[in-house]
Amino acid sequence: MKAPYIGVTGFMSREEVERVLEVFPEDSKRKLMVGILASDKTLRGIPNKQPGRYPKPEDIAGIFPKHPSVLNLVHLHVQEQELVGLFDWLLEVTELGGKNLHGFQLNVKWPDTRVLKKYKDLHSSSVFVLQCGSGALESAGNDPKMLARFVRDYVGLCDYVLLDPSGGQGKAFVPEITLAFLDYLYDVLDGVMNIGVAGGLGAPGETTRLLQTIFDTFPDVSVDAEGKLREMPSDVLNVERARSFICEVAQLCSLV
């Protein structure tokens, strides 16, 4: 099973990644997940409404570093009507991602498992993170038991599942509710798929409050931050805030 990670999503330059890597513990059993956003629109050259988070497609490969502590992922978002072309998007981004790309976070509601298998047949070492955003949770009736059943279909195809009702908007998850979902997910997936959470992480102090009870019960859970690490209204990554987030989570990990 893959190592858990501490993730920062929305990098726009190699310099940002290197500055965050400076504070990542060299002896950590986790990876630093370097998340770069891409969508069907940005891959066509259409500007995103959040241009401070989505690099130009031709810049993606240059952002990913070659480093033993990182997990380099493109967070790929496609509209439902584009699902039939998901395989082609995966192949295109594989080329754009370059030799340091490790895989994808699939910001797609329940992607077709046949597509993922077809891609894995060509790229067996590629990593998939299955994002369960608000749409996926709603389709499961916001029922932890039902969600775990849906996710079970991705065992052997996806290496991680990420509970992310915020979708990068900085809305905090409720630890008590998240724990209920994690209970069922770990019951079904423990030992076969790594499990992660995201939502509202990144604000100094608030990260500890949100994660403390999670780590007390599930010390190997992966975490990811995006929205709370941005400067507003420019929406650019606040690198110092990202560095602080890494240090805060690493400290929590060392205590469990």
What is the pLDDT averaged over residues 109-122? 95
Running DSSP on this structure, what letter comes out for residue 229? G
104-126 per-residue burial string, b: 16 or more CB within 10 A, e: under 16? bbbbbbbbeeebbeebeeeeeeb
What is the pLDDT averaged over residues 7-30? 96
Give the whole-angstrom CA distance, residue 107 versus residue 37. 10
Percentage of the residues of the chain whose pLDDT score is greater than 90: 78
pLDDT in tens, 153-190: 999 999 999 998 765 555 677 788 899 999 999 999 98
pLDDT in tens, 218-254: 999 999 999 999 998 889 999 999 999 999 999 998 8
Residue 204 — very low, low, confident or very high, per pLDDT cuts 50/70/90?
Answer: confident
For residue 59, the domain's CATH number is 3.20.20.70
Task: Using the structure block, give the residue that is written with the tokens 């999503």.
Answer: 9
What is the pLDDT averaged over residues 48-64? 93
Residue 91 has pLDDT above 60, yes or no: yes
Task: Using the structure block, give the residue that is written with the tokens 């192949």.
Answer: 91
Please state, in angstroms and as integers, the Cα–Cα distance from residue 29 to each residue in 64, 118, 219, 225, following that order: 20, 31, 12, 19
What is the pLDDT averaged over residues 12-34? 96
- What was the pLDDT predicted at 81? 62
DSSP class per residue in 30-77: SEEEEEEEEEHHHHTTPPPS-TTT---GGGHHHH----TTEEEEEEEE
- What was the pLDDT predicted at 83? 72
Percentage of the residues of the chain whose pLDDT score is greater than 70: 95
Q: C-alpha 236: how far from its chain's center?
A: 18
- What was the pLDDT predicted at 206? 84
- What was the pLDDT predicted at 47? 84
Measured distance between the N- and C-terminal CA atoms of the chain, rounded to whole angstroms = 20
- Please give the residue range of the domain that contains residue 241: 5-254
What's the total number of domains in the chain?
1
